[in-house]
Amino acid sequence: MSSSDIFDVLNIQNRRAGSPGSSGLTPVPSRTPKPQVSGMQRELYNLLGDNTPPIAVQKGSKFKDKMRTMAKPSPWSFAEFEPRQAVKLRHWVKGSKELVEQQPQGSAFEKYNTKLTIPEFTEEEYNSFMGEKDETKDALQKWNFQDIKQLFDTCKKYDMRWFIIQDRLNLEGEHTLEDLKELFYLVCRYYFLAKNPDNPLIESLSFSREKEVERKKYLQRLLSRSAAEIAEEEALIVESKKFEMAAKKTSSERESLLRLLDSPNSDKPIAQFLTSQGMAQLYNGLLSDKTKKRKHEQTVPENPWMKQQQQFAQQKQQMQQLQEQKIVTNNNIPNDQNQIKKTKKQKQEMQIAVKRKADSEYAEQLLQGFTLEERKSLGVQTHGEKLPSGVYLRSSRISTFKAATQTKIAATLQELELPSRPAMPTYQVVHNHEILLARINSMLDLKRQVDKLEAEKDVKK
């Protein structure tokens, strides 16, 4: 029996008829049309339930309050004034008409209307202070007094506004702005030097025309860069910043690493270890240090790669031996019994010799059809030796010695009037040359010994 049955019995209209199965305890949202909402907003609506408060409506815009001052407005009067002679203007001034008319009628801005003090001089004065310096400056040569005077007057007239001055000057020929400035400051300098040479400002009157031109050129270049160039420049700056950062990072990392290594030199500057060579040196130094300190750890850490290689080499050797043994057993069976008694090394040598003999026999067989003369003209030779196969230049196989010995041998050869590289390195020549080199080498050995003994003898005396 559910609540709906009770409602039925009591003849109460069921409000929740449309929601079968819903428990009577939970309030069911009303069917009133509601904006379709989702997410947080929906959750909010659920929390608020049906009693959504109405949006508070603010009253419309409000105007400023009416001014309620009781003070009397101050009087302004349109007064006349004279900024300079023969000019009459009118402007608004605070105060009653009577008061204003009592006050002086000048302009309040008159005090800002100042003039630059630009030197004035007559021709005699000019000649007197420029006289002896005339030849010092080339720039002055082509300027007469009239031109200078005009320049100074224009400067005064236009308050040193150089662009206007350049425009208004009425001179012959073209003059750049720098020309005019240079001349002006030069004349000023001499003028003041003549008038009061102690003035500390004289020094600041020097005008470097070259620098000015350079500066303008530079600005021109800077301003005429294309967008691509600007972008490239910026990219380069970013790149260089990156490099700097990386360098800083590595150096700091190295520093911390060195500290970790408990380096005996950690109090010294690390600059010398910043290269990879320096690092290797440091590592070796530390290693030798450790072996000194701890005698029981004398073995240098083994190189695993070397170990592997050694193993590999051993294996290879064993394989070779096995193969060679096979050949030997095939080739000369009668020797077999003797070989057992021989040492391992001797055995090996025997095997190699036997193998070489077999090879030589094969080579000889190939050349059977040729006479000695023919062989010579072909350049063919059976040397019967174990030499690395491949092609080489005969002259490149002439023996070399240790650097110190080599120079001594070269000197000996020169003494004998023989070249260090034979002119015709044929087999015979090189063969003889090798003999010579070996003899020289043993002679030098002997000589060293003799010298040593002689020196000892001298000491004994």
Partner 1 sequence: MGPVPAKRIKTLSVARPIIHGNSAKKMGDVKPPNAPVEHTHIWTIFVKGPNGEDLSDIIKSVVFKLHETYPNPVRTVDAPPFELTETGWGEFEINVKIHFVEAAGEKPISFYHHLRLHEYRNPLATNGATGGNIVSTKNADVESIFYDEVVFNEPNEDFFKVLIAKPGYLLPSNKSDKVIFSKQLEREEIDRIKIGIGKVDEETEVLRKKLAKLTKS
Shortest gap between Cβ of 377 and partner 1 (angstroms)? Answer: 4
Nearer to partner 1, 200 or 388 (CB): 388
Q: How far apart are CA 166 and CA 206, in angstroms?
A: 20
Nearer to partner 1, 172 or 385 (CB): 385
Shortest gap between Cβ of 396 and partner 1 (angstroms)? Answer: 7
Nearer to partner 1, 229 or 445 (CB): 445
Residues that bind partner 1 (CB under 8 A): 356, 359-360, 362-363, 366-367, 370, 374, 376-397, 412-414, 416-429, 432-433, 435-436, 439-440, 442-443, 446-447, 449-450, 453-454, 457
DSSP 319: H
For residues 345, 347, 349 and 352, what is the CA-based torsion angle, rounded to 10 degrees? -140
Shortest gap between Cβ of 407 and partner 1 (angstroms)? Answer: 15
Enter the tokens of residue 273.
Answer: 């270890």
Nearer to partner 1, 347 or 433 (CB): 433
Q: Which of 27, 453, 300, 88 is nearest to 445 (CA)?
A: 453
Nearer to partner 1, 205 or 436 (CB): 436
Locate tokens 């203007």: which residue? 89
Shortest gap between Cβ of 406 and partner 1 (angstroms)? Answer: 15
Residues 6+ apart with CB under 8 A from 77: 92, 93, 95, 96, 97, 100
Q: Which of 279, 253, 256, 252 is nearest to 266 (CA)?
A: 256
Q: How far apart are CA 435 and CA 344, in angstroms?
A: 33
Q: How far apart are CA 444 and CA 447, in angstroms?
A: 5
Q: Looking at this protein, which amino acid is placed at residue 426?
A: T
Q: How far apart are CA 372 and CA 381, in angstroms?
A: 10
Nearer to partner 1, 79 or 436 (CB): 436
Shortest gap between Cβ of 333 and partner 1 (angstroms)? Answer: 23
Shortest gap between Cβ of 352 and partner 1 (angstroms)? Answer: 12
Kindly report the length of the chain.
461
Locate tokens 């400067």: which residue? 155
Shortest gap between Cβ of 225 and partner 1 (angstroms)? Answer: 34
Nearer to partner 1, 37 or 380 (CB): 380
